[in-house]
Amino acid sequence: MRFDERVRLYADKLNDTDDQIVDYIMEHRDEIADIPIQKMAEALYTVPNTIVRFAKKLGYKGFAELKAALALERRAEAAIKADGKTAIEKTKELIDEQLIEDAVRKLHEAKHVFFYGIGDSAYFCEMMAKHLRCVGKPADFFVQRHDMLYNADRCGEKDVVFVISVSGETKQVLEAVAAAKQNGAFVISLTHFSPNSLADLADFRLYCWAPKQFLNKYDVTDRTSLYLVLRALSERYWQKYGGCV
Protein backbone atom coordinates (compact mmCIF):
# COMPACT_ATOMS: atom_id res chain seq x y z
CA MET A 1 0.00 0.00 0.00
CA ARG A 2 1.29 3.43 -0.95
CA PHE A 3 2.18 6.06 1.65
CA ASP A 4 -0.68 8.40 0.72
CA GLU A 5 -3.14 5.50 0.86
CA ARG A 6 -1.94 4.57 4.36
CA VAL A 7 -2.38 8.18 5.47
CA ARG A 8 -5.96 8.17 4.22
CA LEU A 9 -6.74 4.76 5.74
CA TYR A 10 -5.39 5.61 9.19
CA ALA A 11 -6.40 9.29 9.21
CA ASP A 12 -8.48 8.87 12.37
CA LYS A 13 -5.38 7.76 14.30
CA LEU A 14 -3.25 10.78 13.36
CA ASN A 15 -2.88 13.88 15.53
CA ASP A 16 -1.79 17.42 14.60
CA THR A 17 1.92 16.58 14.88
CA ASP A 18 1.41 13.56 12.65
CA ASP A 19 -0.29 15.78 10.07
CA GLN A 20 2.78 18.03 10.09
CA ILE A 21 5.00 15.00 9.50
CA VAL A 22 2.79 13.99 6.56
CA ASP A 23 3.08 17.47 5.06
CA TYR A 24 6.88 17.42 5.49
CA ILE A 25 7.20 14.02 3.83
CA MET A 26 4.98 15.00 0.91
CA GLU A 27 6.96 18.22 0.43
CA HIS A 28 10.32 16.40 0.52
CA ARG A 29 9.20 13.13 -1.01
CA ASP A 30 11.94 12.99 -3.66
CA GLU A 31 14.78 13.35 -1.15
CA ILE A 32 13.22 11.84 2.00
CA ALA A 33 15.30 8.67 1.68
CA ASP A 34 18.45 10.76 2.24
CA ILE A 35 17.17 12.84 5.17
CA PRO A 36 18.31 11.57 8.61
CA ILE A 37 15.56 11.21 11.18
CA GLN A 38 17.35 13.65 13.51
CA LYS A 39 17.39 16.36 10.83
CA MET A 40 13.71 15.78 10.10
CA ALA A 41 12.85 15.97 13.80
CA GLU A 42 14.71 19.26 14.15
CA ALA A 43 12.90 20.72 11.14
CA LEU A 44 9.57 19.79 12.74
CA TYR A 45 10.57 20.90 16.27
CA THR A 46 9.97 17.43 17.64
CA VAL A 47 11.98 14.33 18.61
CA PRO A 48 12.88 11.23 16.56
CA ASN A 49 10.67 8.97 18.70
CA THR A 50 7.62 10.94 17.57
CA ILE A 51 8.47 10.21 13.95
CA VAL A 52 9.01 6.52 14.70
CA ARG A 53 5.61 6.35 16.43
CA PHE A 54 4.05 8.04 13.40
CA ALA A 55 5.56 5.43 11.06
CA LYS A 56 4.17 2.62 13.23
CA LYS A 57 0.70 4.18 13.20
CA LEU A 58 0.78 3.75 9.43
CA GLY A 59 1.72 0.09 9.71
CA TYR A 60 5.46 0.40 9.06
CA LYS A 61 7.94 -1.29 11.42
CA GLY A 62 9.74 2.01 11.82
CA PHE A 63 10.99 5.10 10.03
CA ALA A 64 13.61 3.15 8.08
CA GLU A 65 10.93 0.95 6.51
CA LEU A 66 8.81 4.01 5.73
CA LYS A 67 11.74 5.62 3.87
CA ALA A 68 12.50 2.40 2.01
CA ALA A 69 8.88 2.09 0.94
CA LEU A 70 8.84 5.68 -0.33
CA ALA A 71 12.00 5.02 -2.32
CA LEU A 72 10.38 1.99 -3.94
CA GLU A 73 7.28 4.00 -4.77
CA ARG A 74 9.40 6.65 -6.44
CA ARG A 75 11.19 4.06 -8.59
CA ALA A 76 7.99 2.22 -9.50
CA GLU A 77 5.58 5.07 -10.20
CA ALA A 78 3.44 3.01 -12.55
CA ALA A 79 -0.30 3.38 -12.82
CA ILE A 80 -2.30 0.66 -11.08
CA LYS A 81 -4.27 -1.38 -13.61
CA ALA A 82 -7.96 -1.84 -12.88
CA ASP A 83 -8.06 -5.62 -13.27
CA GLY A 84 -9.55 -8.33 -11.08
CA LYS A 85 -6.23 -9.40 -9.60
CA THR A 86 -5.32 -5.85 -8.63
CA ALA A 87 -8.77 -5.26 -7.09
CA ILE A 88 -8.41 -8.32 -4.88
CA GLU A 89 -4.83 -7.61 -3.84
CA LYS A 90 -5.50 -3.95 -3.08
CA THR A 91 -8.67 -4.76 -1.14
CA LYS A 92 -6.84 -7.32 1.00
CA GLU A 93 -4.43 -4.54 1.98
CA LEU A 94 -7.38 -2.33 2.96
CA ILE A 95 -9.07 -4.92 5.20
CA ASP A 96 -7.83 -3.92 8.63
CA GLU A 97 -8.67 -6.52 11.31
CA GLN A 98 -9.31 -3.90 13.98
CA LEU A 99 -11.63 -1.94 11.68
CA ILE A 100 -13.61 -5.10 10.94
CA GLU A 101 -13.76 -5.90 14.66
CA ASP A 102 -15.04 -2.42 15.50
CA ALA A 103 -17.67 -2.53 12.75
CA VAL A 104 -18.90 -5.94 13.90
CA ARG A 105 -19.24 -4.67 17.46
CA LYS A 106 -21.28 -1.68 16.28
CA LEU A 107 -23.59 -3.94 14.29
CA HIS A 108 -24.10 -6.21 17.28
CA GLU A 109 -24.84 -3.34 19.66
CA ALA A 110 -27.42 -1.81 17.30
CA LYS A 111 -31.12 -2.25 17.97
CA HIS A 112 -31.66 -2.58 14.22
CA VAL A 113 -29.34 -2.51 11.20
CA PHE A 114 -30.48 -0.90 7.93
CA PHE A 115 -28.60 -1.32 4.64
CA TYR A 116 -28.85 1.39 1.96
CA GLY A 117 -27.70 1.02 -1.63
CA ILE A 118 -28.79 1.79 -5.19
CA GLY A 119 -28.14 0.03 -8.50
CA ASP A 120 -25.56 -2.76 -8.36
CA SER A 121 -25.04 -2.12 -4.64
CA ALA A 122 -28.61 -3.30 -4.00
CA TYR A 123 -27.61 -6.95 -4.31
CA PHE A 124 -25.00 -6.56 -1.59
CA CYS A 125 -27.49 -4.81 0.72
CA GLU A 126 -29.92 -7.71 0.39
CA MET A 127 -27.13 -10.21 0.99
CA MET A 128 -25.91 -8.48 4.14
CA ALA A 129 -29.40 -8.18 5.61
CA LYS A 130 -29.80 -11.94 5.14
CA HIS A 131 -26.37 -12.60 6.64
CA LEU A 132 -27.39 -10.82 9.85
CA ARG A 133 -30.96 -12.09 10.00
CA CYS A 134 -29.80 -15.71 9.75
CA VAL A 135 -28.24 -15.37 13.22
CA GLY A 136 -31.13 -13.45 14.73
CA LYS A 137 -30.02 -9.84 14.18
CA PRO A 138 -32.86 -7.51 13.12
CA ALA A 139 -31.79 -6.17 9.70
CA ASP A 140 -33.49 -4.74 6.63
CA PHE A 141 -32.35 -3.28 3.32
CA PHE A 142 -33.62 -0.39 1.22
CA VAL A 143 -32.74 0.22 -2.43
CA GLN A 144 -35.25 2.86 -3.50
CA ARG A 145 -34.88 6.56 -2.69
CA HIS A 146 -38.32 7.01 -1.09
CA ASP A 147 -37.90 3.84 1.01
CA MET A 148 -34.50 4.98 2.26
CA LEU A 149 -35.82 8.44 3.13
CA TYR A 150 -38.86 6.97 4.90
CA ASN A 151 -36.60 4.74 6.97
CA ALA A 152 -34.04 7.49 7.61
CA ASP A 153 -36.76 9.73 9.07
CA ARG A 154 -37.73 7.00 11.52
CA CYS A 155 -34.44 5.47 12.65
CA GLY A 156 -32.82 6.57 15.89
CA GLU A 157 -29.72 6.64 18.08
CA LYS A 158 -29.76 2.89 18.71
CA ASP A 159 -29.80 2.02 15.01
CA VAL A 160 -26.95 1.52 12.54
CA VAL A 161 -27.27 2.54 8.90
CA PHE A 162 -24.78 0.65 6.72
CA VAL A 163 -24.38 2.29 3.31
CA ILE A 164 -22.79 0.59 0.29
CA SER A 165 -21.72 2.80 -2.63
CA VAL A 166 -18.64 2.36 -4.79
CA SER A 167 -18.41 6.03 -5.73
CA GLY A 168 -19.66 7.40 -2.42
CA GLU A 169 -21.30 10.20 -4.41
CA THR A 170 -24.79 8.85 -5.21
CA LYS A 171 -27.14 11.76 -4.54
CA GLN A 172 -30.12 9.67 -3.38
CA VAL A 173 -27.98 7.78 -0.88
CA LEU A 174 -26.30 10.90 0.49
CA GLU A 175 -29.72 12.49 1.01
CA ALA A 176 -30.94 9.53 3.07
CA VAL A 177 -27.70 9.31 5.07
CA ALA A 178 -27.92 12.99 6.01
CA ALA A 179 -31.48 12.43 7.28
CA ALA A 180 -30.48 9.32 9.25
CA LYS A 181 -27.59 11.14 10.92
CA GLN A 182 -29.91 14.00 11.85
CA ASN A 183 -31.99 11.46 13.77
CA GLY A 184 -28.91 10.13 15.58
CA ALA A 185 -28.28 6.90 13.67
CA PHE A 186 -24.70 5.60 13.54
CA VAL A 187 -23.53 5.43 9.91
CA ILE A 188 -21.05 2.91 8.48
CA SER A 189 -19.94 3.34 4.86
CA LEU A 190 -18.30 0.99 2.37
CA THR A 191 -16.84 2.74 -0.68
CA HIS A 192 -13.95 2.62 -3.11
CA PHE A 193 -10.76 3.81 -1.43
CA SER A 194 -10.82 7.46 -2.40
CA PRO A 195 -11.97 10.77 -0.91
CA ASN A 196 -15.78 10.87 -1.23
CA SER A 197 -18.83 12.56 0.29
CA LEU A 198 -20.30 9.40 1.82
CA ALA A 199 -17.11 8.56 3.72
CA ASP A 200 -17.02 12.15 4.99
CA LEU A 201 -20.57 11.76 6.37
CA ALA A 202 -20.01 8.33 7.91
CA ASP A 203 -19.10 7.74 11.54
CA PHE A 204 -17.16 4.64 10.54
CA ARG A 205 -15.52 4.04 7.15
CA LEU A 206 -14.69 0.76 5.39
CA TYR A 207 -12.95 0.68 2.02
CA CYS A 208 -12.47 -1.63 -0.94
CA TRP A 209 -10.59 -1.19 -4.24
CA ALA A 210 -13.10 -0.67 -7.05
CA PRO A 211 -12.08 2.13 -9.46
CA LYS A 212 -14.75 3.04 -12.00
CA GLN A 213 -14.57 1.25 -15.37
CA PHE A 214 -16.74 1.86 -18.42
CA LEU A 215 -17.13 -0.07 -21.67
CA ASN A 216 -19.27 1.37 -24.47
CA LYS A 217 -20.76 3.73 -21.87
CA TYR A 218 -21.75 0.82 -19.61
CA ASP A 219 -20.53 0.75 -16.03
CA VAL A 220 -18.50 -2.48 -15.81
CA THR A 221 -16.75 -1.70 -12.51
CA ASP A 222 -15.42 -4.85 -10.84
CA ARG A 223 -17.35 -5.25 -7.58
CA THR A 224 -15.52 -8.37 -6.41
CA SER A 225 -13.80 -6.21 -3.81
CA LEU A 226 -17.12 -5.22 -2.23
CA TYR A 227 -17.89 -8.88 -1.65
CA LEU A 228 -14.47 -9.52 -0.10
CA VAL A 229 -15.00 -6.86 2.57
CA LEU A 230 -18.61 -7.82 3.26
CA ARG A 231 -17.76 -11.51 3.50
CA ALA A 232 -14.97 -10.76 5.99
CA LEU A 233 -17.45 -8.70 8.01
CA SER A 234 -20.13 -11.41 7.91
CA GLU A 235 -17.77 -14.21 8.89
CA ARG A 236 -16.42 -12.22 11.82
CA TYR A 237 -19.96 -11.47 12.98
CA TRP A 238 -20.97 -15.12 12.72
CA GLN A 239 -17.89 -16.21 14.67
CA LYS A 240 -18.46 -13.75 17.50
CA TYR A 241 -22.22 -13.62 17.76
CA GLY A 242 -23.71 -16.36 15.59
CA GLY A 243 -22.45 -19.44 17.39
CA CYS A 244 -20.09 -20.38 14.53
CA VAL A 245 -16.81 -22.07 15.37
Q: Are 128 and 234 in contact (CB under 8 A)?
A: yes
What is residue 28's predicted lDDT score, i.e. its pLDDT? 87
Residue 154, number of CB atoms within 10 A of its CB: 13
Q: Model confidence over 177-222: pLDDT tens digits?
A: 999 999 999 999 999 998 899 999 999 999 999 888 877 778 888 8
What is residue 82's predicted lDDT score, i.e. its pLDDT? 52
Same domain assignment for residues 201 and 98: yes
Same domain assignment for residues 102 and 20: no
* 16-20, 80-84, 100-104, 207-211, range with the lowest pLDDT: 80-84
What is residue 149's predicted lDDT score, i.e. its pLDDT? 96
Last residue of a domain, one of 75, 110, 125: 75
Task: Locate all alpha helices (DSSP H) within 76-144, ordered by sequence.
Answer: 84-94, 97-109, 121-133
Same domain assignment for residues 104 and 223: yes
Same domain assignment for residues 68 and 154: no
Q: What's 89's domain CATH number? A: 3.40.50.10490
Same domain assignment for residues 95 and 207: yes
Q: Are 171 and 196 in contact (CB under 8 A)?
A: no
Same domain assignment for residues 118 and 187: yes
Last residue of a domain, one of 44, 75, 106: 75
Last residue of a domain, one of 75, 92, 124: 75
Q: Model confidence over 22-77: pLDDT tens digits?
A: 999 988 887 887 888 999 999 999 999 999 999 999 999 999 899 888 887 776 55
Same domain assignment for residues 167 and 104: yes
What is residue 29's predicted lDDT score, i.e. its pLDDT? 82
What is residue 24's predicted lDDT score, i.e. its pLDDT? 92
* Residue 86 pLDDT greater than 60, yes or no: yes
Q: Which domain holds residue 181?
A: 84-241
Alpha-carbon dihedral of residues 94, 100, 102, 103, nearest 10 degrees?
100
For residue 83, what pLDDT band results from cuts at 50, 70 and 90?
Answer: low
Q: Model confidence over 2-18: pLDDT tens digits?
A: 888 889 888 889 999 99
Same domain assignment for residues 120 and 220: yes
Same domain assignment for residues 10 and 103: no
What is residue 90's predicted lDDT score, i.e. its pLDDT? 86
Number of domains in the chain: 2
Q: Model confidence over 148-171: pLDDT tens digits?
A: 999 999 999 999 999 999 999 999
Q: What's 26's domain CATH number? A: 1.10.10.10
Whether the model pTM is above 0.85: no
Same domain assignment for residues 132 and 41: no
Mean pLDDT of 102-109: 96
What is residue 79's predicted lDDT score, i.e. its pLDDT? 45
Mean pLDDT of 76-88: 60
For residue 245, what pLDDT band results from cuts at 50, 70 and 90?
Answer: very low
Same domain assignment for residues 130 and 192: yes
Q: Model confidence over 124-152: pLDDT tens digits?
A: 999 999 999 999 999 999 999 999 999 99
Strand, helix or coil for residue 53: helix
Same domain assignment for residues 36 and 126: no
Q: Are 159 and 175 in contact (CB under 8 A)?
A: no
* Residue 244 pLDDT greater than 70, yes or no: no
What is residue 100's predicted lDDT score, i.e. its pLDDT? 94
